[in-house]
Structure 1
């Protein structure tokens, strides 16, 4: 009974967190445009939300190492909501918008890696599947990416801020009930493993570099997929359905993904995810017809869900429990923060010079180049390296 309640709160957190994210990502740019911001300002403000993920998770992971997630996550969630509310006060002034964007992004980026670490610890202790908890986040993203569109269609951009703020407050409430591992500050005299020992392991850095390349390859998809599809004759309704279909495939993999990992192992799932990611971008680049685009949207289950699920398992196994939150933070900040930011900037540069087909071809090569570093990351470790973890 207790395990069901704990799992329910974890699922609720992911659902509410990604409801807010699903409402934010598609409509942040249009909301800024409605506030009178030009293309350059929108690009800067969007990049600010990405690059805040580079520093923030590492800082919060370091604090959680000493204070525990119970002290960090609820406060970070509450300050995220308060900072987001401050957008009401910006009144379209760029300097104020930038300051507020950096503030809420900094605290928003704190929560997810720490909750991922909590969920992995809980799943291992309870014999549960991480993927079946995490899939609720994908369902939340679908619900609000579609739901916010309906609200905006009826009430305009005035629905953007209150709609997201409500879910941020609900996320804070759910964060107060999560099954954190003990919480509170550890005893000062207790011996704790050092992060520096884990950081000396070269396999970790090869893995992170591979992840940066894999995630950077998604820059073309997140920034230009809708534009590219419409250039090839698809209307906006069809494009929206394709986005939703991709996330449904992601949900399906999260449901069965832990079985894949138990049967095939993390290395094979990761390798397959990288190769299928490259295949996805290559098909979009060279065969952009409707049938092929629908078929390769199923590969979102590989390029995002399989990669993320296997990566979380790999990182979790690489760090001892006392350092797991910091390991997850390092993974999130490097792969999604740095990789996502580089991918978005690179996609804009290549789109202006090479067009859509060239940009997605470059994305395919990025994912393929990640395989080289992944092979080095998955090589057997020496006896000395095994002592670290």
Structure 2
């Protein structure tokens, strides 16, 4: 059946893309350290990856509006893989590493928002669930965040670049068969983005999402260190990370059904409240039992938030505008929000300590909820404008 085949290619792309990401995130810093980079240099190179998500998705979303995602995603995936391999040619030179990192990050940031838009279009056409396709990305992340450790233990850091590039090349292969929409007609009038951008609720939504994702900066940068300070060993910490992503997978499996039953607004609101609760419990009750329990809230702070956001954005950016809407969401919420959150968490950790850092993250998520309330107010029906 064609729909099953198309869904299989989408699931394969997510799995392979997040395999590469799951191998990259935990070991990028150690690989840079093995290349002789200082802590400051590692911070700059890590921030370069994060902040590339601010500009790049918007540019690629704009180009997809005219060229179609079919002409962009496969090339971007292939250049990303080549960029990873090119990092080995820098031989530890910081300037070369920075230039190559900016290049591969720029193309890597192109793929996921455009594929998300493609998946939502396909899901609506086929009556399928976005979450049940997207969960394969989470499974890929688990597989390689654990598996890459064993690979590096056997082969050393020399396996880092080719190990990731293999999955990126495979993702390129899968991207060639994704169910993209029809190519834009150069002579047809195109819907404008300006009407949507004038809506105040959109900017409340983006600000709320930015704050919610910024609150994760403490978790991604310092959770493992914080857990170690409270008596957990590395094996236990690894299991806690894996448990959190398994809870994320479970929500992606059932989340679309839950959104249909409860509505986007209620799921969104619950995600923000539970995110604040998660960071608050970690701050004030960091014992093992509570930490295990609140790790299950990753299903809310990431999976429920992202799934509700994708549905919300898809409703505000219909048809030909969807790729640009997803790109705007990715750049502001994950690019800018993630980058500012990481920087802010570093500052608060250095000046306020671990407990107050997670307390601040909890307050940040609650503050984001204030803007979310404004964003979820009913909006007037959008009228498509022609150029």
Q: How far did 1:187 drift? A: 2.7
Structure 2 counterpart of 1:84: 84
Correspondence 1:387 to 2:383 = yes
Structure 1 counterpart of 2:353: 355
Q: Distance in 2 between matches of 1:366 and 1:268?
A: 19
Task: Indicate if the aligned counterparts of 1:198 and 1:388 stay in contact, CA closer than 8 A.
Answer: no
Task: Indicate if the aligned counterparts of 2:195 and 2:382 stay in contact, CA closer than 8 A.
Answer: no
SS of the residue corresponding to residue 283 of structure 2 reads helix
Q: How far did 1:193 drift? A: 0.8
- Scaled by the length of structure 1, the TM-score of the pair is 0.98
Correspondence 1:244 to 2:242 = yes
Q: Distance in 2 between matches of 1:11 and 1:218?
A: 26
Structure 2 counterpart of 1:195: 193
The one-character-per-residue Cα deviations of 1:83-120 (angstroms, maximum 9, x if unpaired) are: 11111100000000000100000000000000000000
Q: Which runs of 5+ in 1 are unaligned?
A: none
The one-character-per-residue Cα deviations of 1:208-265 (angstroms, maximum 9, x if unpaired) are: 0000000000000000000000010001111011000000000000000001100000
TM alignment of 1:1-389, pairs within 5 A: 1-183=1-183, 185-188=184-187, 190-382=188-380, 386-387=382-383
Q: Which runs of 5+ in 2 are unaligned?
A: none
SS of the residue corresponding to residue 177 of structure 2 reads coil
| Range 150-159 or range 362-371, more displaced | 150-159
Q: Distance in 1 between matches of 2:88 and 2:351?
A: 38
RMSD: 0.9
- Scaled by the length of structure 2, the TM-score of the pair is 0.98
Task: Indicate if the aligned counterparts of 2:210 and 2:337 stay in contact, CA closer than 8 A.
Answer: yes
Task: Indicate if the aligned counterparts of 1:67 and 1:186 stay in contact, CA closer than 8 A.
Answer: no
The one-character-per-residue Cα deviations of 1:251-296 (angstroms, maximum 9, x if unpaired) are: 0000000011000000000000000000000000000011000000
Task: Indicate if the aligned counterparts of 1:213 and 1:366 stay in contact, CA closer than 8 A.
Answer: yes
SS of the residue corresponding to residue 275 of structure 2 reads helix
Task: Indicate if the aligned counterparts of 2:118 and 2:179 stay in contact, CA closer than 8 A.
Answer: yes
Task: Indicate if the aligned counterparts of 2:35 and 2:91 stay in contact, CA closer than 8 A.
Answer: yes
The one-character-per-residue Cα deviations of 1:320-359 (angstroms, maximum 9, x if unpaired) are: 2110000000000000000000000000000001110000
